[in-house]
């Protein structure tokens, strides 16, 4: 499979262009990004993450602009995931207190009276790394315990980072999806509160809150684009594991611009392409991806789509891409060694796949049909999200320094 195409792609026959999108309004009610950002602003250390422009690369590739929302600078956590985990914990606390219609200040959440009402509460999550780290950080900041389940292929560096944020880590002999199932069983027995970014039957509110939490970064990005005189991106490329970030991103822009929304693209690893497979099967339902999910994109190594995320993506995503690992590796290297004048960006494997996919789409004759379908040209203003920084330093060095997962000769640039 090392010589597989840089991308397989499928158009979404169910994609809509409308003034309203019921699936989006259900998951992301209008005004929610204002509420989430109001909450996140109160978190100690909160800063707007940078939106970085790559004008030299855009010119070389023949597009108008490439804009990267750099979540490697989010708090001290190297990832956007804390936005979802912290907001879901906040909303869970509100519900437990019977105060769902009140905005509780962050400082009040940390107060002794609130702690006394909540009792000895433990938050639990399954993770490939970043979501668990975000949940652990938020729980620790509010004075609560956390237990984070990881799969057996999770790196020591990612486990150590979770433990450094106050959590107890449990390693499950299986995949990420096995970890999700196991933490659910154990939490029921132990009385823990699960904070998951994926949904299942009977469990949708907390994953919905996680997705709502992600809208803070999108609200910031839209302000930052407007400051540059860009009313809206023409294209959004969003990476997907269970689909929560992709759905939040695509849903946010679809709701904001209605029928004038951007062209939306979902990008997945070819070894964990559950959303691509769902479109390929074509019955309108989410489908699991079989196999061991063995991809370098650890944060996207998910075999089961989130049903509530799928509801948004099947309505608002225009194209689904499935990419081999070398696409993400190339994206990491380009971010790390930019053209003269473009900013340096530290991006992990899951954060860089959209840049790699964009470059191959614009440069490779094998993907000319995809480029034409996406209408990429000199007027295109493209938004990417660097969802994580260097979350696994040893693996990062092996890719960027040593050339691990190299681009096959057939698809290398000819200088």
φ, ψ dihedrals at 384, nearest 5°: -120, 155
Q: Considering the candidates 52, 69, 70, 128, report the single residue annotated as catalytic.
A: 128
Q: Label residue 2 by pLDDT band (50, 70, 90).
A: very low
Question: Do the domains spanning 8-79+206-411 and 81-203 agree at the CATH topology level?
Answer: yes
Average pLDDT over residues 101-116: 85
- Mapped onto helix, strand or coil, the DSSP state of residue 88 is helix
- Judged against a pLDDT cut of 80, whether residue 213 lies above it is answered with yes
- Write b or e for each residue in 212-228: b if 16 or more Cβ atoms lie within 10 A of its Cβ, otherwise e: bbbbbbbbbbbebbeee
- Write b or e for each residue in 304-335: b if 16 or more Cβ atoms lie within 10 A of its Cβ, otherwise e: bbbbbbbbbbbbbbbbbbbbbbbbbbbbbbbb
- Judged against a pLDDT cut of 50, whether residue 1 lies above it is answered with no
Domain boundaries, the chain: 8-79+206-411, 81-203
What is the reported pLDDT for 115? Answer: 84
User: Between β-strands 65-70 and 51-53, what pairing exists: parallel, antiparallel or unpaired?
Assistant: antiparallel
Instruction: Give pLDDT tens digits for 186-205.
Output: 999 999 999 999 999 999 99
Quick one: CATH architecture of 81-203? Answer: 3-Layer(aba) Sandwich (3.40)
What is the reported pLDDT for 3? Answer: 66
What is the reported pLDDT for 415? Answer: 66
- Judged against a pLDDT cut of 50, whether residue 128 lies above it is answered with yes
What is the reported pLDDT for 386? Answer: 98
Task: For domain 8-79+206-411, give the fold.
Answer: Rossmann fold (3.40.50)
Q: Considering the candidates 69, 81, 133, 371, report the single residue annotated as catalytic.
A: 81
Residues in the chain: 415
Q: Kindly tell me the sign of the dihedral angle through the C-alpha atoms of 363, 365, 370, 375.
A: positive
Q: For residue 122, what are the contacts with CB-CB under 8 A and spacing of at least 6? A: 144, 145, 146, 147, 190, 191, 192, 193
- Judged against a pLDDT cut of 50, whether residue 13 lies above it is answered with yes
128 is catalytic: yes
């Amino acid at each position: 499979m090392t010589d597989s195409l840089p991308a397989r792609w499928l158009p979404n026959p169910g994609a809509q262009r409308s003034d309203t999108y019921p699936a989006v309004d259900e998951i992301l009610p209008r005004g929610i990004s204002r509420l989430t950002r109001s909450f996140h602003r109160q978190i100690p250390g909160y800063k707007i993450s940078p939106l970085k422009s790559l004008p030299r690369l855009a010119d070389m590739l023949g597009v108008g602009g490439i804009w990267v929302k750099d979540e490697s600078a989010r708090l001290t956590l190297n990832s956007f995931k804390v936005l979802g985990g912290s907001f879901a914990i906040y909303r869970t606390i509100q519900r437990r207190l019977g105060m769902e219609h009140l905005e509780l200040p962050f400082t009040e959440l940390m107060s002794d009276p609130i702690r006394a009402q909540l009792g000895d509460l433990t938050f639990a999550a399954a993770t490939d790394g970043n979501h668990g780290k975000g949940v652990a950080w938020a729980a620790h900041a509010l004075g609560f315990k956390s237990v984070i389940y990881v799969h057996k292929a999770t790196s020591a560096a990612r486990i150590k980072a979770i433990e450094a944020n106050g959590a107890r880590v449990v390693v499950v002999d299986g995949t990420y999806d096995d970890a999700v199932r196991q933490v659910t069983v154990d939490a029921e027995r132990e009385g823990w509160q699960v904070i998951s970014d994926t949904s299942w039957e009977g469990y949708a509110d907390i994953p919905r809150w996680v997705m709502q939490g992600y809208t803070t970064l999108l609200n910031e990005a839209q302000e930052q684009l407007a400051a540059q005189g860009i009313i809206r991106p023409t294209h959004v490329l969003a990476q997907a594991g269970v689909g929560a970030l992709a759905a939040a991103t695509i849903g946010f822009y679809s709701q904001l611009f209605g029928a004038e929304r951007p062209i939306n693209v979902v990008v997945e690893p070819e070894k964990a392409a559950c959303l691509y497979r769902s479109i390929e099967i074509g019955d309108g339902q989410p489908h699991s991806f079989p196999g061991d999910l063995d991809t370098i994109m650890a944060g996207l190594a998910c075999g089961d789509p989130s049903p509530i995320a799928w509801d948004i993506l099947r309505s608002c995503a225009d194209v689904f891409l499935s990419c081999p690992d070398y696409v993400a590796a190339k994206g990491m290297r380009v971010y790390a060694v930019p053209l003269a004048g473009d900013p340096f960006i530290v991006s992990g494997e899951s954060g860089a796949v959209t840049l790699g996919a964009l470059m191959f789409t614009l440069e490779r004759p094998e993907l000319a049909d995809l480029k034409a379908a996406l209408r990429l040209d000199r007027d295109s203003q493209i938004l990417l999200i660097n969802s994580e920084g260097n979350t696994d330093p040893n693996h990062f060095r092996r890719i960027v320094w040593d050339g691990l997962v190299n681009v096959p000769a057939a698809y290398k640039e000819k200088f």
